[in-house]
Structure 1
């Protein structure tokens, strides 16, 4: 079984498993960016504070993310790369949206597919 298939890590298979694989690949790149530019964390904190201020649907995740964003950059980067269930849940409502531009996202996803981390849909069935 592949890592995104049912029974291995709880993320399921099919579209949900592929979405998690994409999210993990993108957040790995964000983690690299954090180490290079810690200001990314400051922008994430601002976003989380915005969730609290505007009473958005993400408000439930805000307290959790504020706590995580107070950790050292290396720990935040590790969290973003963690394939476990807690990190997977946190990535579903990430304050790091927008860190990567559209071209960067495409490059990351294409690289992950080339390295075997993302199978095209027809190969996952």
Structure 2
């Protein structure tokens, strides 16, 4: 029995150019190249060109909750701040309130003022709720952390340690091999 019918190609077998991947993601080709260079999208080199598996591109595009590098970095600082609060809530929250008041004076209007008002509400509520919001990867928490007023909770040394630890975080491999 002959099988002359064309075989269907699975998306994990299809290789795309960076331009094709960009169209699929609704992004620029340069953005796709940058994602590859940062290790966020795996690729294989064919000569001087990058090729990406369609399945990888589709999976990347489907990740609605993926954090940017800056968002992940702010989350690391939030974890460090949360650790200080968990270890000594009373004095650490006093410092946090002082920092918040200072930032409210610096930003009396606009989006930052609204975020700071939300932080103030959270500080006045249960500590667990504050900690959950501080360390959440939800869209609301991500937006709130764009105006994170609690860096004074961490010493300069601790801030440096968090930044160094985050900078040395292993990244996803940039390339994948053939099977």
Give the alignment's TM-score, normalised by structure 1.
0.70
CA distance 1:110–1:64, change in 2 (3 Å): same
Question: What CA RMSD, in Å, does the superposition of the two structures yield over aligned residues?
Answer: 2.9
How many pairs does the alignment contain?
Answer: 113
- Does structure 1 residue 74 correspond to structure 2 residue 125? no
Structure 1 spans left out of the alignment, 5+ residues: 12-16
Tell me if structure 2 keeps the 8 A contact 1:48–1:62: yes
Taking the aligned partners of 2:125 and 2:158, their CA distance within structure 1 comes to 26
The aligned residue for residue 92 of structure 2 is 40
After superposition, the Cα gap between the structure-2 partners of 1:6 and 1:49, relative to the gap in structure 1 and judged at 3 Å, is: farther
TM-score relative to the length of structure 2 = 0.52
Higher strand share: 2
Partner of 2:9: none
Higher relative contact order at CA 8 Å, sep ≥6: structure 1 or structure 2? 1
Q: 1:49 aligns with which of 91, 95, 101?
A: 101
Structure with the higher fraction of residues in helix conformation: 1
Q: Which structure is larger by alpha-carbon Rg, 1 or 2?
A: 2
**Residue deviations 1:11-60 (CA, integer Å, cap 9, x gap):** 4xxxxx11111110111010010111222222222333334445265322
